[in-house]
Amino acid sequence: MKVILREDVKGKGKSGEIIDVKSGFARNYLIPQNFAYPATD
């Protein structure tokens, strides 16, 4: 799942980067904690 980072995440990337992570990690951690939002086409 591709997400766009809202802020720096240690070991994953810096704010503004588009990264590819496992969908569970995005849905259960990054998005609820407001660290990222889904990248849509």
What confidence score (pLDDT) does residue 11 get?
A: 95
What order of strands is seen across the sheet that includes strand 36-38?
18-20, 2-5, 36-38
What confidence score (pLDDT) does residue 19 get?
A: 97
Residue 1 has pLDDT above 90, yes or no: yes
Q: Which residue type sits at 13?
A: G
- State mean pLDDT over 22-34: 97
- The predicted model scores a pTM of 0.89
What confidence score (pLDDT) does residue 14 get?
A: 98
Residue 15 has pLDDT above 90, yes or no: yes
Task: Sketch out the chain's domains with CATH numbers.
Answer: 2-38 (3.40.5.10)
Residue 26 contacts residue 1 (beta carbons within 8 Å): yes
What confidence score (pLDDT) does residue 25 get?
A: 97
Structure tokens given for 14: 């810096």
